[in-house]
């Protein structure tokens, strides 16, 4: 089963041929099928004797893959799409073939070194100090949770034992990503919500009002304030400077969730909107969203990595060698020490390889291109009498209404667009109303694509 024999060579060529053809093609939009349909079409794939690699590949190619919507399609504009470069995709194959364990420096030092180069690029974009560092985790949910665990650790450590049994609390905006509330449940901490302004933004005035209104006992339980640099639903950036001021004044950990919007730090046209992010204690950004890496790749950065290492390092007899500074294999940077994980693949390597291949200037140009298309889309909506722009896009998210439509009409239109393989645009909610949302992160998305979609709404 582990030998590279003649049949494996045939399968190798078939898989590589499929991978190359998939990268070369204009991706099909495709769409979901029901469980019953897939059972009927795929048949029984897991058997005592196996169905063979070529047959398994056929089932994937003919049945399973077409039952998944291609997130790299240029008119996939729902949720947050992905548009990995060919270089990143190719190197993802290399990562899988290389069998690298990237949790420790002892076992994966070369891979961790390269990942840290990519992390340094992001830290520099954010203006974090040279000592900043972190790790790549699976996604924004894991990144946010790991950062908050480190924040709580610092709070309890600083209290000298006074808060060892205190149920902590965090302050978040009403517009924060759902993963923040999920992480709070996992940690068993309370969430203090701050009302957002009319654009869904956390402001200093609202934050100060909530903090000043808390009883002293509750204020004492606070250990972090979470802000967002590019909300998922609307793409707005919180008042990061005001949050940083409040965090400094209150002695709170400042965490910035830039899972979607943090990539725009690479774009000079919007970089000033992120003022204050350089004061964050932790920051996340998902290269698999807007920095053209394959899933799953979230960069988690800490201003003071030592705090995160103290919070997350796992201790066991068989792990002692990884942390012994007196051995010949003394650790340089054990990546698993900076998040709530131990085992990890070198998920940052495809991003590193693409950055190394194309250079950071190409990334700046690609992000700027998507921002330009978003601004042009807003102008096209303004010019259409049957449409209404909800707000001027701050990043690449465009919210708008089809005047006169009710929720079922939005959904019917969305379903029809996917059925016709024209686009994937699903409705969302804005202040209780059903609206449409474009999330433009693919540099191959053009104004012609936007025009095609808007014309279908007439």
- Residue 10 CB contacts under 8 Å (≥ 6 apart), including other chains: 54
Largest CA distance in the chain: 72
pLDDT at 406 over 90: yes
Burial 59-90 (b: 16+ CB within 10 A, else e): beeebeebeebbbbbbbbbbbbbbbbbebbbb
- Same domain (yes/no): 228, 334: yes
Write down the mean pLDDT value for the chain: 97
Residue 415 lies in a domain: yes
Mean pLDDT in residue range 281-309 = 98
Rounded distance between C-alpha atoms, residue 213 and residue 458, angstroms? 49
- Same domain (yes/no): 283, 403: no
- Same domain (yes/no): 319, 374: no
- Same domain (yes/no): 206, 346: yes
Final residue of a structural domain among 299, 333, 358: 358
Residue 42 lies in a domain: no
- Same domain (yes/no): 419, 441: yes
For 347-403, what is each residue's pLDDT tens digit? 999 999 999 999 999 999 999 999 999 999 999 999 999 999 999 999 999 999 999
Final residue of a structural domain among 358, 382, 417: 358
Final residue of a structural domain among 358, 376, 404: 358
Per-residue pLDDT band for 188 (boundaries 50, 70, 90) equals: very high
Residue 342 lies in a domain: yes
- Same domain (yes/no): 183, 296: yes
Q: Please count the structural domains in the chain.
A: 2
**What is the share, in percent, of the chain residues with pLDDT greater than 90?**
97
Which of 93, 120, 75, 169 lies closest to 285 in space, CA to CA?
Answer: 120
DSSP assignment of 236-253 equals -B--HHHHHHHHHHHT-E
- Tell me the Ramachandran region of residue 100: left when phi exceeds 0, alpha when psi lies from -120 to 50, beta otherwise: beta
- Same domain (yes/no): 370, 342: no
Instruction: Say how many residues make up the chain.
Output: 458
Residue 23 lies in a domain: no
pLDDT at 156 over 90: yes
- Same domain (yes/no): 156, 181: yes
Domain of residue 198, residue span: 93-358
For 338-361, what is each residue's pLDDT tens digit? 999 999 999 999 999 999 999 999
Angle at 352 between CA 94 and CA 276, to 5 degrees: 150
Residue 32 lies in a domain: no
- Same domain (yes/no): 342, 418: no
| Res 329: pLDDT | 55
Mean pLDDT in residue range 306-318 = 95
Residue 439 forms beta bridges with which residues? 397
The CATH number of the domain where 120 resides is what? Answer: 3.40.640.10
Mean pLDDT in residue range 26-40 = 97
What's the gap between Cα 163 and its chain centre?
32
Residue 202 lies in a domain: yes
Q: Is 135 helix (H, G, I), strand (E, B) or coil?
A: strand
Per-residue pLDDT band for 323 (boundaries 50, 70, 90) equals: confident
Per-residue pLDDT band for 425 (boundaries 50, 70, 90) equals: very high
The CATH number of the domain where 437 resides is what? Answer: 3.90.1150.170
Indicate if the alpha-carbon torsion angle 262, 265, 270, 273 is positive or negative.
positive
- Same domain (yes/no): 327, 393: no
Instruction: Burial-class residue 326 by CB neighbours within 10 Å (0-12, 13-18, 19+).
Output: exposed
- Same domain (yes/no): 191, 123: yes
338, 305 Cβ separation under 8 angstroms: yes
- Same domain (yes/no): 181, 319: yes
| Least confident interval from 9-13, 320-324, 417-421 | 320-324
424, 417 Cβ separation under 8 angstroms: yes
pLDDT at 328 over 60: no
| Res 330: pLDDT | 55
Residue 248 lies in a domain: yes
Residue 3 lies in a domain: no
Alpha-helical (H) ranges within 25-70 are 35-42, 53-59
**Which structure tokens are listed for 384?**
């259409």
Per-residue pLDDT band for 313 (boundaries 50, 70, 90) equals: very high
């Amino acid at each position: 089963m582990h030998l590279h024999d003649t049949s494996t060579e045939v399968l190798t060529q078939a898989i590589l041929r499929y991978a190359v053809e998939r990268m070369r093609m204009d991706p099909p939009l495709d769409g979901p099928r029901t469980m019953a349909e897939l059972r009927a079409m795929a048949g029984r794939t897991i058997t005592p004797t196996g169905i063979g690699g070529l047959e398994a590949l056929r089932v994937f190619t003919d049945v399973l893959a077409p039952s998944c919507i291609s997130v790299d399609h240029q008119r996939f504009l729902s949720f947050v799409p992905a548009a990995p470069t060919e270089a990143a995709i190719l190197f993802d194959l290399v990562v899988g073939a290389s069998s690298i364990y990237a949790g420790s420096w002892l076992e994966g030092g070369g891979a961790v070194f390269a990942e840290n180069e990519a992390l340094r690029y992001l830290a520099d974009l954010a203006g974090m100090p040279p000592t900043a560092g972190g790790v790549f985790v699976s996604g924004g949910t894991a990144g946010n949770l790991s950062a908050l665990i480190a924040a709580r650790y610092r709070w309890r450590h600083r209290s000298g034992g006074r808060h060892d049994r205190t149920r902590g609390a965090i302050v978040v905006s009403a517009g924060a990503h759902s993963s923040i509330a999920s992480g709070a449940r996992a940690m068993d901490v309370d969430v203090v919500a701050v009302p957002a302004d009319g654009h869904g933004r956390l402001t200093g005035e609202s934050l100060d009002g909530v903090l000043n209104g808390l009883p002293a006992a509750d204020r004492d339980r606070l250990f972090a304030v979470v802000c967002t640099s590019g909300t998922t639903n609307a793409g707005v950036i919180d008042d990061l400077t005001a949050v940083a001021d409040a965090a400094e004044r209150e002695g709170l950990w400042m965490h910035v969730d830039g899972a979607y919007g943090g990539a725009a730090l690479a774009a000079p046209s919007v970089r000033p909107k992120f003022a204050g992010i350089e004061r964050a204690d932790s920051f996340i950004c998902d290269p698999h969203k807007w920095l053209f890496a394959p899933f799953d790749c979230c960069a988690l950065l800490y201003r003071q990595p030592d705090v995160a290492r103290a919070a997350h390092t796992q201790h066991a007899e068989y792990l002692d060698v990884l942390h012994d500074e007196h051995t010949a294999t003394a650790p340089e940077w054990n990546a698993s020490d900076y998040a709530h994980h131990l085992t990890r693949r070198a998920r940052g390597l495809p991003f590193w390889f693409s950055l190394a291949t194309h250079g950071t200037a190409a990334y700046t140009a690609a992000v700027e291109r998507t921002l330009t298309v978003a601004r042009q889309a807003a102008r096209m909506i303004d010019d259409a009498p049957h449409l209404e722009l909800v707000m001027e896009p701050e990043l690449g998210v465009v919210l708008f209404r089809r005047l006169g439509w009710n929720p079922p009409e939005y959904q019917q239109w969305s379903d029809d667009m996917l059925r016709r393989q024209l686009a994937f645009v699903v409705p969302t909610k804005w202040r209780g109303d059903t609206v449409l949302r474009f999330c433009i992160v693919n540099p191959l998305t053009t104004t012609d694509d936007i025009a095609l979609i808007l014309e279908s709404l007439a």
